[in-house]
Structure 1
Amino acid sequence: MRRWFLLLACLFGTMPWPTHAADALRIMSFNIRLPAESDGVDYWETRKPLAVKMLREQAPDVVGLQELVKSQADYLAHELPAYAWFGRGRNADGGGEHMGVFYRKDRLKVIESGDFWLSDTPDVPGSITWNHLYPRMVTWALFEQRSDGKRFYLFNTHLPYREQDEAARVKGAQAIARRLATLPAGVPVVLTGDFNTAPDSEAHALLARTLQDAWTTAPRVEGSEATFHGFTGNADKRIDWIFVRGVQLESITSVTTRWNNRYPSDHFPLVATLRLP
């Protein structure tokens, strides 16, 4: 019955959004994979309808995206009018990869938002230190639920990927932890991202001192533990994480859906379901 309903909705141009249990929030972390012609059959032009289909099916309230570029964000915004988004490119001129955040306009409003760079000069756009190849950054926001006025912070990041970048990943985790320590006490926090390192790493341990890893602490866990699969579906690395603080965590799921043997990205998205106190 649900399939017929969705088919009719598509035919007549309206897509209903699944309803959630009262006040439950669905937070997604999604490395969308930037457009790279070297991906061949998995190039963005092929994948983009799959990304939209996945997002419609999962109906997250907030999505922290990594490897997002402006053309991808514009496409998603056009196809998903229930969402607004914000974020800027990591480069000094505002171009390049965005830590873009999409959110449901009917459920949430942004009270404040901003960015900082993972460098010795975090307030300088495009700044690079710690032997990074590229600028690395965090985009954040303070959200408020429209239904009850409850608030939470969302931080979204993407740490460097090379094996020799482990020290930089540790410094990045330290910078994020320092920024989280400045937030008002009692306001819940969610951190999404592609951290490009293992759960037994020092970077993970630093963040886990004040945050809980949703994958290891949620009462209900579904899907593949590993998240990076390189478009094969055979994931072997758990490098995408959702951390939380001050929330009632209900579940976390990795989204492994594919269509015609094609995936929306080379990473499985994560979706954490939680409630604010």
Structure 2
Amino acid sequence: MAAPTNSKTTDEIRLVSWNIRMDALSDSITVDETIAGLPTELPSDPESYFPNTAERPWSERRIAVANTLLFDRADLMGLQEVTKRQLDDLEILLGNDYANIGVGREDGKEDGEYSPIFYRKSAAKLIEWDTFWLSDTPFEPSKYPGAGNTRICTTAQFKGKSGIFTYMNTHLDHLSDEQRGYGLSLILHRAKYEAIKTKRPVFVTGDFNSRPDQLGYQVITGQVEPLELNSTFTEKYSWSDQQEKEFVFKDLIAETVPERRSGDYATFTGFADPDGTDSYSRIDFVMAGSNGGWKSNSFRVAGTLTDNGLWSSDHKPVISDLTIYKGRY
């Protein structure tokens, strides 16, 4: 997106989307115990690189997850599949520079996976936030008919030097293509409402469980028409005919010049051997609204496999460096 010529005050934001893999092999090992068990001796060349790459417990993965975010100095992070234990652990490991928002999807409190937003407090100030469910009853904990799981979207307004911007984070269903289409239709409608109301940029991150050739991705990028939505949702988030404007989301990989993109594109790997690439796919995204006010400076899919065969997650983080411009658009 072209920069406004009168821009003087901007925000330089590193935006991350990452499904960190739920606490599937749960144990009772604490953060302190994990840290105490880390090797202190200098590393030596191993007998073999990338030994067993099978999934390991969260207690073995959490340091790598936190360090990826810290080493890359992420400003705003939309995470997925986060259980309450994982949320609490990341609060400890990321430290006081970060805060987070979000709820458990099963009860709107602490039960079930979160789709939280972590944010660096010095990068942006939280104004307000809420959660809605990606179902036909979006204002209460609920599951879309035929979906494998309950799904949610966390929505927040932040204020930086450039002004207010909206950030949405989500995780779509792994089984139902229809739910993905419906859920992203809800998100697109809410995002358009926020763009019209604030006249400011809107961003979305998430594990869409949808490849670019599938319904969900095609809905949110404007390739196919959104599905018909719950009327209470569209009435709450409505705009006048005079305000009607075209709005879709732009995939930031396509909005970044080729020389500033990484060589990795696949975001889902499973816990596979590095040579077993048959199941890799691109289903995790960072997107920005077509109403503008932003520029994508770089786009990267980060590595998550270490020499000792540890996958920190079965997904890779998607990282975008953005400039957000001052003014109204």
- Interval containing the TM-score (normalised by the shorter chain): 0.7 to 0.9
Residue deviations 1:173-199 (CA, integer Å, cap 9, x gap): 111111112114321011000011111
> Following superposition, which runs of at least 4 residues in structure 1 exceed 6 angstroms of deviation?
none
2:24 to 36, 47, 63: 36
* Structure 2 CA distance for aligned equivalents of residues 180 and 25 of structure 1: 19
Q: Aligned pairs, how many? A: 251
1:50 to 61, 64, 67: 64
* Structure 1 CA distance for aligned equivalents of residues 165 and 182 of structure 2: 25
Residue deviations 1:161-183 (CA, integer Å, cap 9, x gap): 12xx1111111111111111211
Q: Which amino acid aligns with 1:230?
A: G
Q: Is the 8 A contact 1:42 1:231 kept in 2?
A: no
| Alignment TM-score, normalising by the size of structure 2 | 0.73
1:166 to 170, 177, 184: 177
1:218 match? 256
2:114 match? 98
Distance 1:175 1:93, change over 3 A: closer
Structure 2 residues without counterparts, runs of 5 or longer? 1-9, 27-52, 223-247
* Structure 2 CA distance for aligned equivalents of residues 101 and 30 of structure 1: 11
* Structure 1 CA distance for aligned equivalents of residues 251 and 119 of structure 2: 22
1:10 match? none
1:63 to 77, 94, 103: 77
Structure 1 residues without counterparts, runs of 5 or longer? 1-21
1:263 match? 311
2:297 to 250, 269, 273: 250
* Structure 2 CA distance for aligned equivalents of residues 151 and 249 of structure 1: 18
Counterparts in 2 of 1:15-164, with a 5 A limit?
Answer: 23-37=11-25, 41-81=55-95, 82-92=97-107, 94=109, 95-124=111-140, 126-145=141-160, 148-162=161-175
SS of 1:24's equivalent?
strand
* Structure 2 CA distance for aligned equivalents of residues 123 and 40 of structure 1: 39
Q: Is the 8 A contact 1:223 1:256 kept in 2?
A: no
Q: Percent identity?
A: 34
1:264, distance to aligned residue in structure 2 (A): 1.4
* Structure 1 CA distance for aligned equivalents of residues 192 and 167 of structure 2: 14
Say if 2:274 is the partner of 1:227. Answer: no
Residue range with higher mean Cα deviation, 60-69 or 76-85:
76-85
1:223, distance to aligned residue in structure 2 (A): 3.6
* Structure 2 CA distance for aligned equivalents of residues 93 and 204 of structure 1: 26
Structure of larger gyration radius: 2
1:52, distance to aligned residue in structure 2 (A): 1.4
1:132, distance to aligned residue in structure 2 (A): 1.6
SS of 2:194's equivalent?
coil
1:193 to 201, 206, 216: 206
1:16 match? none
Distance 1:268 1:179, change over 3 A: same
Distance 1:241 1:93, change over 3 A: closer
Say if 2:189 is the partner of 1:178. Answer: yes
Q: Which amino acid aligns with 1:158?
A: H
Q: CA RMSD in A?
A: 1.7
* Structure 1 CA distance for aligned equivalents of residues 253 and 170 of structure 2: 17
Residue deviations 1:234-263 (CA, integer Å, cap 9, x gap): 461100011112211111100114322212
Q: Is the 8 A contact 2:270 2:280 kept in 1?
A: no
SS of 2:216's equivalent?
helix
| Alignment TM-score, normalising by the size of structure 1 | 0.86
Q: Which amino acid aligns with 1:231?
A: F
* Structure 1 CA distance for aligned equivalents of residues 57 and 166 of structure 2: 33
